[in-house]
């Protein structure tokens, strides 16, 4: 079993874009729900010859250097604080901290992820250049962060239910990364008081024709395997109702379909089909890029 107590801070990277604003609101509600602090971080990107810390880590900006980007960054942070306070009025009890850094964006946020329970970013940024930058930032973090990474899109699920009533969805394939994703998904569903959809696809690659008798036997094996993987977690989280779904279908496509009626999707950083050096699996990549719902990629040290 994975211990999810961990650090007591959620970090959110901001740049003033619509995706960033959505990320702040989501991160604030997550922190408030758990009664932990929220760190709002804005990184002022510097060229390779810019300021760096002695250890190579992020360096706070020098006071009074007159950089117009500091004024822009201060405005972005002020707006993010307002969004956080409006999204989660109770968050003041746990605390909101905000800070600007000069440095390379991905290494700075990756370094900060070492001491975070979760790091949250929007899927893309503001304007042509920033959209590309934040796209690379979210990609970089899901490959390299030291804690789970939540990627928030600036769209909402199309569903008759209130978003707060929608389930959490987790993709399970039996890999170690999938086990951590399962732990996170149960924890999220428990905090949100919603049911969990546990999806296991026993198809890898393209769907092929399978004789009905063989299909029935394979389906039974898949059902039993999923039940075994969920048993311990259901005992640990008896308050979470679980819908088990084993399907013979493309796993990424199936998860994206489930995401249309979910408030959150949780995936492993790489799956059973990956090799030991693989940083992000093809299924996780597809879900992070295309899902409209927030996606948590299960990462750890």
pLDDT (tens place) for every residue of the chain, 301 residues total: 455 555 689 999 999 999 999 999 999 999 999 999 999 999 998 765 444 444 445 555 555 554 778 899 999 999 999 999 999 988 876 689 999 999 999 999 999 999 999 999 998 755 434 434 337 889 899 999 999 999 998 776 555 567 788 999 999 887 777 899 999 999 999 999 999 999 987 665 444 555 555 667 777 777 787 888 898 898 999 999 999 988 877 888 899 999 999 999 999 986 444 433 334 577 888 899 889 899 999 998 7
User: Residue 226: its pLDDT value, please?
Assistant: 84
Pair type for strands 96-103 and 168-171? unpaired
pTM for the model: 0.84
User: Residue 248: its pLDDT value, please?
Assistant: 78
Q: Which residue has the tokens 């993709």?
A: 171
* Residue 2 contacts residue 183 (beta carbons within 8 Å): yes
User: Residue 246: its pLDDT value, please?
Assistant: 86
- Domain 9-152 identical in fold to domain 163-298: yes
Instruction: Identify the CA nearest to 152 among candidates 192, 119, 130, 179.
Output: 119
Instruction: Identify the CA nearest to 138 among candidates 110, 111, 171, 117.
Output: 110
User: With 0-12 CB in 10 A as exposed, 13-18 as middle and 19+ as buried, what is 273?
Assistant: middle
* Residue 264 contacts residue 157 (beta carbons within 8 Å): no
Alpha-carbon distance of 269 to 142, in angstroms, equals: 7
What fold is seen in the domain 163-298?
Rossmann fold (3.40.50)
273: Cα within 13 Å, side-chain hemisphere: 11
User: Residue 231: its pLDDT value, please?
Assistant: 87
Q: What share of the chain is helix, strand, coil (3-state, %, to 5)?
A: 45, 20, 35
Residue 15 has phi, psi (to 5 degrees) of -145, 5
Domain 9-152 of CATH type 3.40.50.1860: no
Helices (H) and strands (E) in the chain — how many of each? 8, 10
Alpha-carbon distance of 223 to 225, in angstroms, equals: 5
Residues 6+ apart with CB under 8 A from 284: 142, 267, 268, 269, 270, 271, 297
Mapping DSSP to helix (H, G, I), strand (E, B) and coil, where does residue 9 land?
strand
Domain boundaries, the chain: 9-152, 163-298
Q: Which residue has the tokens 């296991």?
A: 200
DSSP secondary structure of 183-229: HHHHHHHHHHT--EEEEEE---SS-----HHHHHHHHHHHHHHHHHH
Q: What angle do CA 104, 109, 114 make, to 5 degrees?
A: 135
Extended beta strands in 212-273, E state: 242-247, 264-268
DSSP state of 59: B
- Centre a 10 Å sphere on the Cβ of residue 103 and count the other Cβ atoms it contains: 23
The tokens for 124 are: 């893309």
């Amino acid at each position: 079993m994975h211990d999810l107590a961990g650090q007591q801070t959620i970090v959110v990277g901001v740049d003033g874009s619509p995706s960033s604003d959505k990320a702040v609101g989501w991160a604030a509600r997550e922190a408030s729900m758990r009664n932990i602090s929220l760190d709002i971080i804005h990184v002022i990107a510097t060229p390779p010859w810019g300021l760096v810390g002695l250890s190579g880590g992020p360096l706070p900006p020098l006071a009074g250097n007159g950089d117009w980007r500091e004024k822009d960054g201060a405005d972005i942070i002020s707006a993010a604080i307002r969004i956080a306070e409006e999204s989660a009025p109770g968050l003041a009890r746990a605390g909101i901290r905000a800070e600007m850094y000069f440095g390379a964006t991905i290494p700075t946020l990756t370094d900060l992820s070492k001491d975070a329970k979760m790091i949250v970013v929007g899927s893309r940024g503001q304007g042509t250049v920033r959209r590309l930058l934040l796209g690379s930032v979210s990609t970089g973090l899901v490959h390299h962060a030291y804690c789970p990474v939540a990627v928030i899109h600036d769209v909402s699920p199309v569903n008759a239910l209130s978003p707060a009533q929608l389930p959490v969805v987790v993709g399970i394939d039996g890999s170690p990364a999938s086990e951590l994703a399962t732990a996170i998904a149960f924890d999220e569903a428990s905090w949100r008081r919603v049911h969990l959809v546990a999806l296991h696809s026993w198809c890898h690659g393209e769907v092929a024709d399978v004789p009905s008798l063989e299909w029935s036997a394979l389906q039974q094996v898949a059902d039993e395997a999923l039940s075994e993987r969920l048993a311990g977690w259901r005992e640990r989280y008896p308050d979470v109702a679980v819908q088990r779904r084993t399907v013979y279908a493309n796993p990424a496509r199936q998860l994206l379909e489930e995401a249309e009626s979910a408030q959150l999707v949780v995936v492993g950083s790489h799956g059973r089909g990956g090799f030991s050096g693989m940083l992000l699996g093809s299924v996780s990549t597809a879900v992070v890029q295309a899902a409209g719902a927030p996606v948590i990629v299960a990462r750890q040290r």
